[in-house]
Structure 1
Amino acid sequence: MSKIRIRFIVTILGLLFLSYGCQNEQVPVSKEEKITTSNKIKTLNIQPKEFQRIVGWIDDENVLLQLKKEGKITFERLNVFSGKQHQIYETTHVISEVVISPNRDCFLIYSAESKDKANLDIISIDGSIMSTKEVKPQSIEFSWNQDDQNKMFLTTFDTDWNYQVFQWDIPTGNITRLNTDSPFVSWYSDNLFVFNQKLSPQKDRGDLYLEDIRDKTVKNLVVADVYKFAVSANTLLTIEPSKEDKAMVYNFRTVGFQSYYQYEAPRVYDELGTFFPFYDLNVEKESFLTFEPYESKKLKDHGGEFKLVKVSPKEKKAETMLELTNNEPIVTSPNGKYCLYGYLFDQIIDLETKDTLYLIQHRDKMY
């Protein structure tokens, strides 16, 4: 499944039920909220009509919770062990996307005030508005700079999947267009970025290039023939074709692009080409999680076709965490011990015990 298609689905879901979005370093919390009653995950009894989703981790114990109360959307800090909640921010706008900053000290809210007016708001974890920018409502993909939180890429798409990439300088509010040859773009440092250039949107694979935001005359080929890529603080992950058509390779590379570990997994596909299961990259804690099919085949429209695998590229080994499970979004805690799981992140996986628990009371029908 292409990155564009996934983002389109997520954006539409966000507009339909006022939700959806996404996550790296600890921020201070009060002593009261930092004290946990036990190391057990606490299931909250939140009313089904109030719960929207869990956005992601704020630190090793707290997550950002999104609720709907009395016509307002509220964001709260939730301690997953004690169950304590603390309201951070509220709005009456329709929420399309929420993204937690790399340092986890603030978060972006992309919301619609009306059919003709949308806003980009940066909210600190203590609830204050740090920056706001008015934009027109459209489908936007966000890429926050991990080395400089004052910078962000905004990739917009129209109904025909035509794209434009912009750089947003958050303190000044300036948004400038970036003339790049691909919508698949991500920051690589404070001024460098990488992008996957494909011959056409229908192609599964492309070539990965490195550019400097300050000097567009330099364009270096990094890796040829890749499906997808992801960037962490110290690792570049490229997903590449294997020598056999029935497999694909997760290739872990240093910041200098040298491969130091390769993990091969079966390749599944659908009518539109190669299908990429959800994954989460947290190499700093020696953790890469991915859903892996049991064999190479055409993807079927039912659950339980995958196993959750934890890959440790530094130790060059892999371990199965869950069997016969569904391919749904995942994101690990900063310390790598727990993992939010599900389209609403309402479940949590203990990666030490391999138990899956519900953070919110489970409901057979959510809508």
Structure 2
Amino acid sequence: MRYRLTLIVFITAILLTGCTQQSHQPQDVSDLEEIRKPANEERYLSVDFLEEQNVIPISDDDFFSAEGWLDEQNILYLSENAEKSTVYKYNLFSGEKEKLYESDSSIVQLEISPNRNLILVHVSPSSYEAEVIVIDKLGNEQTKRTFPSSELTYSWSPSGERIFLTSFDENWTFQTFILNIKDFSLEKNPVDIPFIQWLSDEEITYLKWDEGEPQLTAPLYRQSLIDHKEVMVEEKMINHANFGDYSLAVQVKDEEESIGSYSFYHEKYDELIYSFDVQLLPLYSEWLVPHFDYSDRNMLFYTFVPGSEENKFDLTAVDLQAKTSSVILENADNSDIMLSPSGELALYGSYLENVIDLKEAEIKSIVK
């Protein structure tokens, strides 16, 4: 997507400009070959939407990018022309389309809240200004905020009651904000870190890069938004994510052999649940961390790992209950993936222009 691709390049530039703790020893570590076992279909829910119903594609003239799932059948997508940007709600299986929101300025991206009741709309009136508009599922505006900004990042808290925003100017200096949905108040500069992950509504985690010199890894910290106490969690990290009761840490295990580890913990990184090794790939002066997503409905984590063909990846499911990993699709592109609420389907592609039936390992385009 336009914004996603721009942001990837931008974040890479930030990381390149860029505490001792004993690392957790991985338990039940899979060999790299183990993740190529066939997928176990019994993990999935029984309803197969793609088998029972055909996907009715969107006209290519009307489609710019898919933006996420409202429910198991309805997605949001953007349409854009020279005069306006439009947000549509679209049923993939009935073809029913409903205009939800429209702007005379370019809509950069949408971000659906965790409970899928609200939608953040990022609008760009100019190169140096950003509007954040929160709408409900009917398209009614709940609040609008304007920020001086060349780039803007944002993320919903787990409850959907707060939004963390980071506004960058043209020199990459930044300010952070928390928008409280209950009363739409705005807290300015609650944290002096641009990129965070929510651990809870009152606690965040982040990688602390040294801005003075380039780094390949950084320590992971968590911080309370109440007393602002900062605690280091782990060293030599390249990425991390929090999913409700579980958290992911991506670390460099053997730099010389380019081996990394994906380790899954209970909340607050207190207990290691499962860990497996992956082959790391260099990306300029950092490590590539492929796209991933997590389904809390069935405790399945999906990511891409290097495949047998050059520049191709295997879409791999990690079962945190069974503590196993298995391949869903072989030698696919490493691209955006966004799971449906049930975890049975996934939007996939640079513009999320495809849908994957994860049980049947079947890909269909949602655009004609």
TM range (shorter): 0.7 to 0.9
* 2:341 paired residue among 313, 334, 338: 334
1:145 and 1:190 in contact (8 A); partners too: yes
Displacement after TM superposition at 1:253 (Å): 0.4
* 2:250 paired residue among 217, 228, 239: 239
Q: TM-score, normalised by structure 2?
A: 0.81
Structure 2 residue 148 is the aligned partner of structure 1 residue 141: no
2 CA distance for matches of 1:183 and 1:278?
A: 20
* Correspondence 1:170-319 to 2 at 5 A: 170=181, 171-180=183-192, 182-200=193-211, 202-216=214-228, 218-243=229-254, 245-257=257-269, 258-294=271-307, 305-319=312-326
Displacement after TM superposition at 1:266 (Å): 0.8
Corresponding residue number in structure 2 for 1:86: 98
1:184 and 1:197 in contact (8 A); partners too: no
Deviation per residue, 1:6-42 (Å, 9 max, x gap): 625489xxxxxxxxxxxxxxxxxxxxxxxx9973341
2:208 and 2:220 in contact (8 A); partners too: yes
* Correspondence 1:145-184 to 2 at 5 A: 145-147=157-159, 149-170=160-181, 171-180=183-192, 182-184=193-195
1:54 and 1:65 in contact (8 A); partners too: yes
* 2:118 paired residue among 106, 109, 125: 106
Structure 2 vs 1, CA of residues 238 and 283 (structure 1 numbering), >3 Å: closer, same or farther?
A: farther
2:223 and 2:231 in contact (8 A); partners too: yes
Structure 2 vs 1, CA of residues 84 and 210 (structure 1 numbering), >3 Å: closer, same or farther?
A: same
Corresponding residue number in structure 2 for 1:74: 86
Secondary structure of the residue aligned to 1:209 is strand
Secondary structure of the residue aligned to 2:175 is strand
- The amino acid of 1:196's aligned partner reads L
Structure 2 vs 1, CA of residues 322 and 134 (structure 1 numbering), >3 Å: closer, same or farther?
A: same
- The amino acid of 1:156's aligned partner reads S
- The amino acid of 1:236's aligned partner reads S
Corresponding residue number in structure 2 for 1:299: none
Structure 2 vs 1, CA of residues 247 and 37 (structure 1 numbering), >3 Å: closer, same or farther?
A: closer
Deviation per residue, 1:253-277 (Å, 9 max, x gap): 0014111100211111122121111
* 1:62 paired residue among 50, 71, 74: 74
Residues 114-123 or 256-265, more deviating? 114-123
1 CA distance for matches of 2:342 and 2:191?
A: 37
Structure 2 residue 334 is the aligned partner of structure 1 residue 322: no
2 CA distance for matches of 1:5 and 1:126?
A: 29
Structure 2 vs 1, CA of residues 85 and 291 (structure 1 numbering), >3 Å: closer, same or farther?
A: same
Corresponding residue number in structure 1 for 2:7: 7
Unaligned stretches of 5+ residues in structure 2? 12-48
| Higher RCO, 1 vs 2 (CA within 8 Å, ≥6 residues apart) | 2
Corresponding residue number in structure 2 for 1:52: 64
Unaligned stretches of 5+ residues in structure 1? 12-35, 296-301, 362-367
- The amino acid of 1:132's aligned partner reads K
